[in-house]
Amino acid sequence: MVPFLTGASINSMIEGDYDLTFYILGIIGAVIMRYGVITYARYNVRKVALNVAYDLRQHLYSCLQDQGSEFFSKHTIGDMMTRAVADIALIQRLIAMGTILVVILVYASLFGFAAMFYYSPTLALLMLPTTLFTSHGGCFKARTRPFVRHGHSC
């Protein structure tokens, strides 16, 4: 919406109409709406992640209470709780941040390509192989990042 309103305001100025109040209010409104929608979505995704973490902790604690003394003689409670809390926190972050990232990447890619296809189908079809190549390169980089971070080569 913002690029469309920016382009329309530039076209308006080229035609000699310098009253940009409508366009400026439209851009401000679009930015405020985007901020509100993203804040609401992030809040809800994080709320779901917290609920999943809570359910996992409750299930873990109930399973631990069902174990006998032989189990606790082999495993220390401190080690189990430290590991469980760290793993559950990792799952919570994965759900919260991973879901937001996937939604944003898919949304931005699909709507960006749709807008490009609307304005210039030929250019959009020419850019499709490049887009697929760069997205595959990003997946490759994400898979090799642990090796690069720790100084290992692929």
User: Residue 75 gets which letter from DSSP?
Assistant: S
Tens of pLDDT, residue by residue over 58-75, are 888 888 888 888 888 888
Tens of pLDDT, residue by residue over 7-49, are 888 988 999 888 889 989 999 999 999 889 888 888 888 888 8
User: Residue 94 gets which letter from DSSP?
Assistant: I
pTM exceeding the 0.85 threshold for the entire prediction: no
In the chain, where the domains are located: 2-103
Pull the structure tokens for residue 24. 């400026």
Pull the structure tokens for residue 119. 């304005």
